[in-house]
Structure 1
């Protein structure tokens, strides 16, 4: 006998009602708005159509689920590359709920600041624990998860940042997270 689905249906209904009440558009199919981490250090989240709240998971057709934490602003150390007056860090959780092993080297993460992608560079700052995708050769077995910490250079003034995450560069759908940082 299968367990009752009432809690899942109730959670889905509450999520939709909450999204409608907050003025957030419904997520694209396969995405969930289950709640987000509170904005960190005075950072606020603003959502465009199709954007997810920071902390909300997005499940891809392959079974890989990705969630991006709320942004955390910091000043990169003197040994960081590239040098930047400010950077924003994210924790990215990757869970493999699919049937086959997921190769982390396929993960594609890109950022844009105020609609521009050319000037946004990933910051590697080993002193503060931002090493990029250090385990790129790592396999994520079905039922397992990993957490990555990535950072991107941003200007000193507050800007709108959009992060796009795909389990592979060829994936047509991106999980998009957006907020003012």
Structure 2
């Protein structure tokens, strides 16, 4: 009798762990929450694809922060770019703080994946792609800030997923998906 009960508990614990590791929809904002030990972008599942936004769409977090990611702009990285890549895709990310408290830009995390594999961010100072240059900047309520981020992509067009998390402590993230 005790063995059967132990098996049921172990099975239930395994299912719960699997749900947390793969991400479950958040009722608060309709996006998938990742497990605390998961790196951003990991655990992307087919069920998350239904929650993806297209480039250009706005997403408002419960904190009042609104994020919009523009369509990718293809560019040829310079010889001094890191990492070396045949092509780059640049994205304008606009953040508007409609919340009641100051937003710390240093908490912003943006990761990219192609076919489930991580894509590296390109730093190309020659062309102005320096990452989040004002990471120490605070965004006061009612203010906006725009950052441009670039990622290394293959020469041929590819589906790219950008996952944005406003802070490391924020359980919710938004994912944008589209051709780059």
Fold similarity call, TM over 0.5: yes
**Are 1:123 and 2:122 counterparts?**
yes
Structure-2 separation of matches of 1:174 and 1:90: 17
- The unaligned stretches of length 5 or more in structure 2 are 1-26, 31-47
Q: Deviations over 1:20-41 (max 9, x none)?
A: xxxxxxxx8658xxxxxxxxxx
Once structures 1 and 2 are overlaid, which stretch shifts more, 97-106 or 120-129? 120-129
Alignment of 1:19-168 (within 5 A): 30=29, 48-117=49-118, 120-168=119-167
CA RMSD of aligned residues (A): 1.6
Q: Deviations over 1:120-156 (max 9, x none)?
A: 1110111211110000000000000000000000111
Give 2:23's aligned residue: none
Q: Which has the higher helix share?
A: 2
Structure-2 separation of matches of 1:143 and 1:122: 29
- How much does 1:82 deviate? 1.2
Give 2:3's aligned residue: none
- The unaligned stretches of length 5 or more in structure 1 are 1-27, 32-46
SS of residue paired to 1:49 = helix
Q: Which has the higher strand share?
A: 2
For the 8 Å contact 2:114–2:160, the answer to whether it is kept is: yes
Count of residues in correspondence between the two structures: 137
Q: TM-score, normalised by structure 2?
A: 0.72
For the 8 Å contact 2:69–2:91, the answer to whether it is kept is: yes
Q: Deviations over 1:16-75 (max 9, x none)?
A: xxxxxxxxxxxx8658xxxxxxxxxxxxxxx93001121111111111111000011111
Runs of 4+ displaced beyond 3 Å: 28-31
